[in-house]
Amino acid sequence: MSDLAYRFSRQDLLTQALTHRSAGAPHNERLEFLGDALVNLLIAEALYQHWPQADEGALTRARAELVRESALAPIARQLDLGAKLILGPGEMKSGGHRRDSILADALEALVAAIYLDAGFETCRAVVLPWFQSAMEALPPPHKVGKDAKTRLQEWLQGKQKPLPVYALLSESGDDHAKTFRITCTLQQPVLVTEGEGGSRRAAEQMAAEAALQALGAS
In a domain, 173, yes or no: yes
Q: Based on the fold, state whether residues 111 and 165 are members of the same structural domain.
A: no
Q: Is 52 strand, coil or helix?
A: coil
Q: Which among 136, 159, 188 is the end of a domain?
A: 136
Q: Based on the fold, state whether residues 15 and 102 are members of the same structural domain.
A: yes
pLDDT at 1: 41
> How many whole angstroms separate alpha carbon 51 and alpha carbon 184?
33
> How many whole angstroms separate alpha carbon 189 and alpha carbon 192?
10
Q: Based on the fold, state whether residues 112 and 182 are members of the same structural domain.
A: no
pLDDT at 105: 95
Catalytic positions are 36, 108
The response to whether 209 counts as a known ligand-binding position is no
> Which helix H or strand E contains 171, and what residues bound it?
strand 165-172
Helix axis angle, 29-50 to 120-136, nearest 10°: 60
Among the listed residues 187, 34, 59, the one whose alpha carbon sits nearest the alpha carbon of residue 111: 34
pLDDT at 218: 65
Q: Based on the fold, state whether residues 82 and 43 are members of the same structural domain.
A: yes
CATH of the domain at 166: 3.30.160.20
> How many whole angstroms separate alpha carbon 85 and alpha carbon 1?
12
Q: Based on the fold, state whether residues 17 and 114 are members of the same structural domain.
A: yes
Q: Which among 89, 107, 136 is the end of a domain?
A: 136
Task: Measure CA of the first residue to CA of the last residue in the chain; give whole Å.
Answer: 43
Cβ(144)–Cβ(66) below 8 Å:
no
The amino acid sitting at 86 is I
The parent domain of residue 58 ranges over: 2-136
Cβ(109)–Cβ(86) below 8 Å:
no
> How many whole angstroms separate alpha carbon 77 and alpha carbon 88?
20
Q: Is 110 exposed, middle or buried (0-12, 13-18, 19+ CB in 10 A)?
A: buried
CA-to-CA dists, residue 106 to 8, 117, 133, angstroms: 16, 16, 20
The response to whether 196 counts as a known ligand-binding position is no
pTM of the model as a whole? 0.69
> How many whole angstroms separate alpha carbon 191 and alpha carbon 145?
25
Q: What is the pLDDT along the chain (218 residues), one digit of tens a residue?
A: 446 778 999 999 999 999 999 988 899 999 999 999 999 999 999 999 999 988 898 899 889 989 999 899 999 999 999 999 999 998 888 888 888 999 999 999 999 999 999 999 999 999 999 999 988 888 778 777 678 888 899 889 989 999 999 999 999 888 777 899 999 999 989 999 999 988 888 899 899 989 998 998 76
Q: Which among 71, 103, 136 is the end of a domain?
A: 136
Split into its structural domains, the chain has a count of 2
Residues in the chain: 218
Q: Based on the fold, state whether residues 15 and 119 are members of the same structural domain.
A: yes
pLDDT at 147: 80
Our CA angle for 25, 28, 32, nearest 5°, is 150
The response to whether 100 counts as a known ligand-binding position is no
